[in-house]
Amino acid sequence: MRSVRRRSTSLTTESPSTVIDLATRRRTTRIFAKTPVEYEDVLYCVKAAAQAPSGANRQPWRFVLVDDPAMKERVRAACEEQEKRHHASVEASLRRWFMSKNITWQKPFLTEAPMLLAVFSNQEMPYATESTWLAIGYIILALEERSLSTLTYTPSYPENMRSVFKAPEEYALEAILPIGYSADSKPKEPRRPFQASLYRNLWNMKA
Amino acid sequence: MRSVRRRSTSLTTESPSTVIDLATRRRTTRIFAKTPVEYEDVLYCVKAAAQAPSGANRQPWRFVLVDDPAMKERVRAACEEQEKRHHASVEASLRRWFMSKNITWQKPFLTEAPMLLAVFSNQEMPYATESTWLAIGYIILALEERSLSTLTYTPSYPENMRSVFKAPEEYALEAILPIGYSADSKPKEPRRPFQASLYRNLWNMKA
- The pLDDT of residue B9 is above 50: no
Q: What is the mean pLDDT of residues B52-77?
A: 98
The residues pairing with A178 across neighbouring beta strands, listed in sequence order, are A116
Average pLDDT of chain B to the nearest whole number? 93
Give B83-119 pLDDT, tens digit per residue.
999 888 888 888 888 888 888 999 999 999 999 999 9
Asked if B133 has any chain A CB less than 8 Å from its own CB, the reply is yes
What is the average pLDDT across B123-145?
A: 98
Q: What is the pTM of this model?
A: 0.93
Rounded CA-CA distance A44/B43 in Å is 28
pLDDT of amino acid A94: 83
pLDDT of residue A1: 41
Query: What average pLDDT does range B30-54 have in this prediction?
Result: 98
Q: Does A181 touch chain B (CB under 8 A)?
A: no
Query: Using a CB-CB distance cutoff of 8 angstroms, which residues of chain B are in contact with residue A97?
Result: 56
Mean pLDDT per 10-residue section of chain A, whose length is 207 residues: 49 77 97 97 98 97 98 98 90 87 92 98 97 98 98 94 98 98 96 97 96
Query: Which ipTM was obtained for this model?
Result: 0.93
CB contact under 8 A, A51 and B145: no
Strand order, beta sheet including A198-200: A202-206, A198-200, B61-66, B115-122, B171-179
Is-contact B154 B175, C-beta < 8 A? yes
pLDDT at B4: 57
Write down the pLDDT at residue B90.
Answer: 86
Other Cβ atoms within 10 Å of A191 Cβ, number = 18
Contact A200, A147 (CB under 8 A): no
The pLDDT score that the predictor gives to residue B88 is 87
Question: For every residue of A83-108, which 3-state class applies, written as one string?
Answer: HHHHHHHCCHHHHHHHHHCCCCCCCC
Residues of B in contact with A28 (CB under 8 A): 53
Strands (E), chain B: 61-66, 115-122, 171-179, 198-200, 202-206
Candidate from B18, B142, B199 with C-beta closest to A145: B18
Query: Average pLDDT in the B142-169 region?
Result: 96
Residues facing A116 on adjacent strands: A66, A178
Average pLDDT value for residue range B140-156: 97
Query: Which of A134, A144, A174, A200 to probe the B interface (max B CBs under 10 A)?
Result: A134
